[in-house]
Amino acid sequence: MFQVFFKAGLLGALEEMRDERPAQEEQANTHLTKLRKARHELEEAQERTDIAESQINKMKVKSRNMGKAKDNREQL
């Protein structure tokens, strides 16, 4: 009698695990999609940062050149 309950309990547990697996796979796929989206957004943000830094450096160079030209005119 005990063996019948044990087998039924074990079988029930296995069936429950089997039924949970699709939900776990769906959840894993959802998390993977979110991860890929976050990575893509990070890459885009890094690109925008690079562009902004490049623009700042160009502005700094231009400002320095303008300052030098102004100093040269004052010396004349």
Instruction: Write out residues in the chain with pLDDT < 50, as ranges.
Output: 1
Q: DSSP code of 1?
A: -
Rg (CA), the chain: 33
Among candidate residues 34, 54, 53, the one with its CA nearest the CA of residue 42 = 34
